[in-house]
């Protein structure tokens, strides 16, 4: 389904006459999706921008005065051919020429009071939406869509399959004295050493911690499931990784199950399940990670019947770059499968500066197989330095990565670089210039923990990709929304959050 948006505005006469509800019901009954609405009292300056194409007409001053005389109801509607269909539903500009059954044909008489405005083209709609809704319309799954459109791509069972390092986050509010005891600093993230081994037991025994299924790839899968599963009611996301034969593994399985993700864990009898102590003090945190069994994943696990069936079902495969340190052969096997199927996507993340710098060979082995590469501005800078690129700007690095040789040259690669609150940059192989997708900022006072923003963005992005099979603006809108929601909670904790 090719979806578009249109701007519909109920003018002051429509608001004053109390027929807003009737007009809204016409669009709802047709089957279009309302994605933004507000009551506004526009200034004459704002209206002059909106009606700039009429500024030379004799009636322009009267039009502006009329539109500024009272509140207007601003709306954005979404659906297939909604711009053209919306114009038909409104009727001719002059109500006298409008057919019975149209909004103007039924609800008004004179051209000077024709109650509604509707965009006359897709380009005009985009410009008008940007003018009246700079905060951006929202995006959500329309439950009626499968009953309205013949070709709506549905969320399928197991559509997203992640491969990565499963970690149990053990999160607790702690006094600064505990950090001092273990030589830790707020805001830092380190790998556990022998001196930290007792920290995990102490958290469990003394601080009533919260157990959150963690690990970058697993977090993205959890977010994707949170979004896709909210409308489809299916297990859209699955995950592959290695855990130990211990109580932590059972807690991890339970936590993942609670989030709706299907886990295919390989069990290693020698190493304990990976874990990360998240020590929180006044909204700041210190992370101590011991990945342990996650490092023991074996590619042979992919041949197990249940795992092989999950691979066959999946449409989108994703792995954070951290798995490059674990099993490149496993990644290659998944990537080869995706490459052999035109409707499947293999995606990865740069994930960390040290991976770009010190695991360059492993990364460059996998990049030819990647349909989408994710990363952030810091990782892009590290990539530019490591590969000695002449232009280290985010856009140039994204375009360079997108243009790198690809195993299947018939499928262009995308490179998506997030930049925190700044616009996300997307380059496509052979493209003239990257596209920037703006981010709706979150008030600083509302940000609790920004650590999960990147994982959440990917999860949101993939939740759309698996459904549409294409990189679209909706991928970025949903990715940004997911990141914005997750940074307002501690850790990537989704329990209690509604999409």
Active site residues: 455
Q: Can you say whether residue 450 is alpha, beta or left, with left for phi > 0 and alpha for psi between -120 and 50 degrees? A: alpha
Q: In this structure, what token pair is assigned to residue 250?
A: 């059972």
What is the radius of gyration, based on Cα positions, of the chain? Answer: 26
Q: Which of 477, 489, 481, 418 is nearest to 447 (CA)?
A: 489
**Residue 347 near residue 370 (C-beta atoms within 8 A):** yes
Decide: 308 and 336 in contact? Cβ < 8 Å: no
β-pair type (284-290, 189-191)? parallel
Contact 124, 136 (CB under 8 A): no
CA dihedral (456, 458, 460, 463) in degrees, to 10, reads: -140
Collect all residues with Cβ–Cβ distance below 8 Å to 61 and sequence separation of at least 6. none
Give me the torsion for CA of 214, 436, 478, 410, rounded to 10°: -80
Of residues 202, 195, 201, the one with CA closest to residue 178: 202
Q: Whole-angstrom Cα distance, residue 85 to residue 27?
A: 10
Cα 386 to Cα 342: distance, rounded to the nearest angstrom: 32
8-state DSSP, 315: S
DSSP 292-309: GGGGG--GGGGGSHHHHH
Is 104 in contact with 10 (CB distance < 8 Å)? no
Comparing CA positions, the residue from 197, 156, 203 lying closest to residue 178 is 203
Residue 166 makes CB contacts below 8 A (sequence gap 6+) with 213, 214, 215, 218, 239, 241, 242, 243, 252, 256, 263, 265, 273, 274, 294
Describe the strand order of the beta sheet including 345-349 as a list of residue ranges: 262-268, 237-244, 160-163, 316-320, 345-349, 372-376, 414-419, 422-428, 435-437
**Among candidates 487, 472, 463, which has minimal Cα distance to 162?**
463
In 3D space, the residue among 302, 306, 300 whose CA is nearest the CA of residue 158 turns out to be 306
To which residue do tokens 């390989």 refer?
A: 266
């Amino acid at each position: 389904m090719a979806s578009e948006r249109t701007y519909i505005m109920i003018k002051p006469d429509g608001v004053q006459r109390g027929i807003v509800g009737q007009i809204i019901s016409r669009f709802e009954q047709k089957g279009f999706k309302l994605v933004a609405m507000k009551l506004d009292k526009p200034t004459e300056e704002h209206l002059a921008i909106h009606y700039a194409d009429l500024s030379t007409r004799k009636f322009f001053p009267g039009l502006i005065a009329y539109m500024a005389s009272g509140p207007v109801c601003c709306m954005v509607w979404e659906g297939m051919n909604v711009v053209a269909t919306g114009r038909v539903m409104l009727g001719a500009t002059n109500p006298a020429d409008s057919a019975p059954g149209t909004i103007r044909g039924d609800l008004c008489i004179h051209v000077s009071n024709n109650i509604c405005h509707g965009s006359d083209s897709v380009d005009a709609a985009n410009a008008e939406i940007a003018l009246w809704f700079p905060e951006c319309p929202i995006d959500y799954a329309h439950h009626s869509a499968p009953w309205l459109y013949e070709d709506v791509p549905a969320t399928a069972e197991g559509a997203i399959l992640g491969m990565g390092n499963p970690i149990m986050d053990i999160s607790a509010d702690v006094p600064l004295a505990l950090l001092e005891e273990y030589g830790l600093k707020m805001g830092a993230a380190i790998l556990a050493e022998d001196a930290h081994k007792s920290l995990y037991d102490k958290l469990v025994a003394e601080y009533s911690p919260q157990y959150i299924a963690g690990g970058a790839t697993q977090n993205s899968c959890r977010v994707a499931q949170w979004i896709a599963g909210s409308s489809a009611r299916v297990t859209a996301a699955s995950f592959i990784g290695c855990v130990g034969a211990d109580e932590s593994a059972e807690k991890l399985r339970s936590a993942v199950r609670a989030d709706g993700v299907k886990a295919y864990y390989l069990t290693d009898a020698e190493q304990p399940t990976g874990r990360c102590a998240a020590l929180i003090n006044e909204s700041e945190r210190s992370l101590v990670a011991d990945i342990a069994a996650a490092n023991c994943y074996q590619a042979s696990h992919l041949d197990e019947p249940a795992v092989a069936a999950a691979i066959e079902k999946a449409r989108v495969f994703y792995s954070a770059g951290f798995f490059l340190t674990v099993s490149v052969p496993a990644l290659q096997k998944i990537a080869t499968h995706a490459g052999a199927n035109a409707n499947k996507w293999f995606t990865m993340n740069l994930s960390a500066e040290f991976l770009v710098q010190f695991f360059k060979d492993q990364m460059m082995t996998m990049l030819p197989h990647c349909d989408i590469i994710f990363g952030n501005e810091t990782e892009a800078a590290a990539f530019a330095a490591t590969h000695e690129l002449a232009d280290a700007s985010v856009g140039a690095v994204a375009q360079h990565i997108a243009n790198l040789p690809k195993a299947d040259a018939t499928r262009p690669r995308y490179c998506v670089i997030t930049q925190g609150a700044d616009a996300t940059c997307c380059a496509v192989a052979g493209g003239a210039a990257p596209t920037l997708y703006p981010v709706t900022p979150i008030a600083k006072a509302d940000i609790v923990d920004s650590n999960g923003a990147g994982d959440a963005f990917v999860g949101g992005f993939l939740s759309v990709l698996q459904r549409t099979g294409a990189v679209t603006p909706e991928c970025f809108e949903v990715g940004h929304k997911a990141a914005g929601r997750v940074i307002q909670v501690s850790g990537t904790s989704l329990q209690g959050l509604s999409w």
